[in-house]
Structure 1
Amino acid sequence: MASEPPPSLALDLTGTFAFGLNGALTAGRAARLDVVGVVALDMITALGGGIIRDVLIDSLPPATFQDWCCFALAAAGGLIAFGLSKHLQRRCHP
């Protein structure tokens, strides 16, 4: 991932964070999981698509495993979503 130009890298990392938030919010809302379950489903959602893409185009090892930023952003998205899930639930479902 380090060889990508900065705009592409920024978009990739932004997408990873956004998918992490989405996966974590869905896990927290639909399954009412604890923090470990939310972060696990968050990581699968945020990183799974890129891993499958890299395997299908034969770009091995996948870019996710070459840089810690992807893991950190995915985990941060999950933790933020878990922390805000109660507040968001009250705000969205009065």
Structure 2
Amino acid sequence: MKKRAFKMQLFDGFVSEYKKRHDELWPELEQLLKETGIHEYSIFLDEETNALFGVMDVEDETLLDKLPEHPVMQKWWKYMGDIMESNPDNSPVSVGLKEMFYLK
């Protein structure tokens, strides 16, 4: 299992909406993420900057490369695009983070 971390940026004024949308996560998206081998997935918010910090355990990183092709993932990105920084393909602007310390 590999741990992956990344950051994204939420637009001002959309904290409640972001939380609501994730509290109501589509069952088909949850299933897709689990089928892709994603476990222990959390997203945290820095309330001072609206920066989002995600961390997840991944069984096979090569499976993540196929997520952008999946219609459910594309639909979710489009759905979220109005409240966070997004790329032209509607995927969130996401910056990978380097692990500096891990205590097991």
| TM-score using structure 1 length | 0.32
Larger radius of gyration: 1
More strand by share: 2
More helix by share: 1
